[in-house]
């Protein structure tokens, strides 16, 4: 705060005290040096008591939070981890996102923040998206076998009937054939969800993928909109399937284009590098960093709140001619790539963020 400035002085302690998240500062021996109001609430204990006690007095020895502290000191950079369970008499049972950062000016000292609700809820939505994708995969196989095959029989029977039918009845047999074709087309779309073990993963330049998507969008469904690109050109490659990644961003940009206003509609495509987000790969305990973030933002009215819990489920749609398969497919592909997707939506600002792992040395 400079003298003579028109803004009142802000006390950083006051800011930290008002923060909903729990914030703790630890010294090199994990002794608590500072605890904000959020930490007092989370640990159901006053700051005077928290301070000068080691954090190990408040967390069990096998708590993943303690492992994160060691790891942050080892790597000398911020690390955050989603979905950590705290289950102690003081905290009760809760799931939090923990971020640990070194305090550069104080060697060995760390600042730990624990967020509940909002971020944890987002992760809930991400995990739901994986669950939704799994159930769609199973459904796709069932549809292919149990619906498509009998349908061809029904269609064939209708065509046979048509040979001897009166003109009026022909209208009905035509209806049977047309409806059967419509259902087959829908099932064909669902088949993309079946597990495809032949997908080849290779290093993919995400900017080339986005460039391709932008060209398709500008030539068609987003012709009337302003497309803004905000790229970090230094991003490393992502390990993935180029065609599937095109599908992901095409679906997201198409939704953004359909939501953006006719007049003054704008879609912002951004890429960036975000340190510290880690998530276990599907079906494995290994945690992988997800540093590549691709965001698609639009200035439409926002996603109706009642859709949020099931947004990534198949057949969730508010559009007259929508199938509601776009985001379900996005969730499946992103999940298959070991990534996560999350969204934030308020009127005039809806953002979908896709976080993907980068290519590592062993992948090539
Ligand atoms: N950027 C967005 N802004 C506002 N609402 C959105 C946005 N993206 C998705 N939605 C909402 O989520 C619903 C589901 O999207 P999804 O892409 O899965 O299906 P769809 O777009 O309705 O149909 P399809 O993609 O099959 O044409 C949409 O119908 C819409 O209500
Ligand atoms: Mg869509």
21: domain CATH number is 3.30.450.20
Is 333 in a helix, a strand, or coil?
Answer: helix
Partners of residue 287 on adjacent β-strands: 280
**CA 164 to the chain's CA centroid:** 56
Q: Are residues 164 and 217 in the same domain?
A: no
Please provide the DSSP assignment of 59-79 as one string.
S-TT-HHHHHHHHHHHHTS-E
Same domain, 108 and 39: yes
Domain finish residue from 173, 193, 213: 193
What pLDDT tens digit does each residue of the chain (364 aa) get?
A: 444 456 677 788 888 888 878 999 999 999 999 999 999 988 988 899 999 899 999 999 989 999 999 999 998 888 888 778 888 888 887 778 889 999 989 999 999 999 875 444 454 455 555 566 666 666 776 666 677 777 888 888 899 999 988 999 999 999 999 988 888 887 777 777 776 655 678 899 999 999 999 999 999 999 999 999 999 998 999 988 898 899 899 999 999 999 999 999 999 999 998 766 665 555 555 666 778 999 999 999 999 988 988 898 888 899 988 888 899 889 888 888 888 888 989 999 999 999 888 877 666 5
Pocket probe for ligand 1: among 327, 330, 341, 351, the residue whose CB has the most ligand atoms within 8 Å is 327
Residues 268, 351 share a domain: yes
Number of domains in the chain: 3
Q: Tell me: do 59 and 110 sit in the same domain.
A: yes
What is the distance in A from the centroid of ligand 1 to the CA of 352?
Answer: 12
Cross-sheet strand order for the sheet of 277-280: 32-35, 22-26, 110-115, 92-102, 79-88, 277-280, 287-289
Are 125 and 132 spatial neighbours (Cβ–Cβ below 8 Å)? no
**Interaxial angle between packed helices 117-143 and 167-190, expressed in degrees from 0 to 180 and rounded to the nearest 10:** 130
For residue 242, the SS3 value is helix
Q: Residue 83 has what pLDDT?
A: 72
The whole domain housing 16 covers 12-117
Do 105 and 179 belong together in one domain?
A: no
pLDDT at 127: 52
User: What's the maximum distance between 2 C-alpha atoms anywhere in the chain?
Assistant: 96
Atom of ligand 1 nearest to the CA of 317: 29
pTM of the entire predicted model? 0.63
Which of the ligands is closest to the CA of residue 296? 1
pLDDT confidence of residue 120? 41
On whether the CB atoms of residues 314 and 307 are closer than 8 A, the answer is no
- H helices of 81-196, in order, are 117-143, 149-163, 167-190
Q: Would residue 254 count as lying in a domain? A: yes
- Cα(132) to centroid(ligand 2), Å: 16
Q: How far apart are CA 5 and CA 7, in angstroms?
A: 6
Q: Is position 361 within any domain?
A: no
Tell me the C-alpha distance between 213 and 204, whole Å. Answer: 14
Angstrom distance (rounded) from CA 25 to CA 52: 11
- Mutational pocket test of ligand 1: of 247, 248, 255, 334, the residue with most ligand atoms within 8 Å of the beta carbon: 255
Q: Are residues 160 and 268 in the same domain?
A: no
Are residues 180 and 227 located together in one domain of the fold?
Answer: no
CATH number at residue 278: 3.30.565.10
Q: Are residues 126 and 26 in the same domain?
A: no
What would you report as the CA-atom Rg of the chain, rounded to the nearest whole angstrom? 26
Q: Using CA positions, which residue lies closest to atom 29 of ligand 1?
A: 317
Atom of ligand 1 nearest to the CA of 298: 1
CA of 207 to the centre of ligand 1 (A): 24
Do the domain assignments include residue 7?
A: no
302-306-307-308 Cα dihedral, nearest 10 degrees: 80
- Distance between Cα 17 and ligand 2 center (Å): 42
Contact indicator for 292, 358 with CB cutoff of 8 Å = yes
Pocket of ligand 1 (CB under 6 A): 251, 255-256, 259, 298, 300, 302-303, 307, 311, 316-319, 322-328, 350
At which of 71, 92, 117 does a domain end?
117
With the most atoms of ligand 1 within 8 angstroms of its CB, the residue from 322, 334, 350 to mutate is 322
Please say which residue of 102, 117, 132 terminates a domain. 117
Confirm if 269 and 296 have CB atoms less than 8 A apart: yes
Query: Do 221 and 323 fall into the same domain?
Result: yes
How would you classify the pairing of strands 79-88 and 32-35? unpaired
Whether 307 is in a domain gets the answer: yes
The verdict on residue 253 lying in a domain is: yes
Is 4 inside a domain boundary? no
**In terms of domains, do 303 and 333 share one?**
yes
Distance CA 217, CA 210 (A): 10
SS3 358: strand
Degrees to nearest 5, angle at CA 142 with 140 and 143: 65
217 and 333 together in one domain: yes
CA 3 – CA 271 distance, rounded (Å):
39
Within-domain flag for 2: no
- Name residue 345's beta-bridge partners: 350
**Do 111 and 127 belong together in one domain?**
no
Q: Return the pLDDT at 68.
A: 92
Q: 332: how many CB neighbours lie within 10 A of its CB?
A: 26
Assigned domain for 5 exists: no
């Amino acid at each position: 705060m400079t003298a003579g400035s028109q803004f009142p002085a802000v006390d950083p302690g006051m800011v930290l005290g008002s923060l909903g998240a729990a914030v703790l500062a630890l010294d090199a021996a994990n002794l608590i040096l500072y605890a904000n109001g959020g930490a007092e609430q989370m640990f159901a204990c006053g700051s005077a008591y928290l301070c000068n006690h080691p954090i190990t007095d408040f967390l069990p020895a096998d708590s993943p939070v303690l492992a994160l502290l060691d790891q942050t000191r080892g790597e000398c950079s911020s690390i955050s981890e989603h979905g950590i369970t705290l289950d102690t008499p003081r905290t009760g049972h809760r799931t939090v996102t923990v971020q640990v950062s070194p305090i550069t000016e104080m060697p060995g000292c760390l600042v730990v923040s624990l967020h509940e609700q909002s971020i944890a809820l987002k992760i809930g939505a991400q995990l739901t998206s994986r669950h939704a994708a799994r159930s769609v995969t199973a459904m796709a196989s069932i549809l292919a076998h149990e619906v498509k095959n009998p349908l061809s029989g029904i269609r064939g029977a209708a065509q046979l009937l048509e040979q001897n039918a009166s003109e009026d009845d022909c209208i009905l047999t035509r209806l049977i054939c047309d409806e059967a074709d419509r259902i087959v087309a829908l099932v064909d779309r669902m088949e993309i969800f079946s597990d495809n073990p032949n997908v080849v993963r290779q290093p993919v330049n995400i900017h080339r993928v986005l460039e391709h998507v932008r060209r398709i969008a500008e030539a068609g469904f987003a012709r009337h909109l302003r497309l803004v690109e905000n790229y970090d050109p230094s991003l490393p490659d992502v390990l993935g399937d180029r065609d599937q990644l095109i599908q992901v961003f095409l679906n997201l940009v198409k939704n953004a284009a359909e939501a953006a206003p006719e007049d003054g509609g704008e879609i912002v495509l951004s890429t960036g590098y975000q340190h510290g987000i880690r998530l276990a790969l599907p079906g494995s305990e290994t945690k992988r960093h997800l540093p590549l973030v691709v965001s698609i933002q639009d200035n439409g009215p926002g996603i109706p709140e009642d859709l949020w819990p099931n947004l990534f489920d198949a057949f969730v749609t508010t559009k007259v001619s929508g199938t509601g398969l776009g985001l379900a497919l996005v969730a499946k592909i992103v999940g298959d790539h070991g990534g996560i997707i999350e969204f934030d939506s308020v009127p005039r600002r809806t953002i979908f963020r896709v976080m993907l792992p980068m290519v590592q040395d062993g992948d090539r």
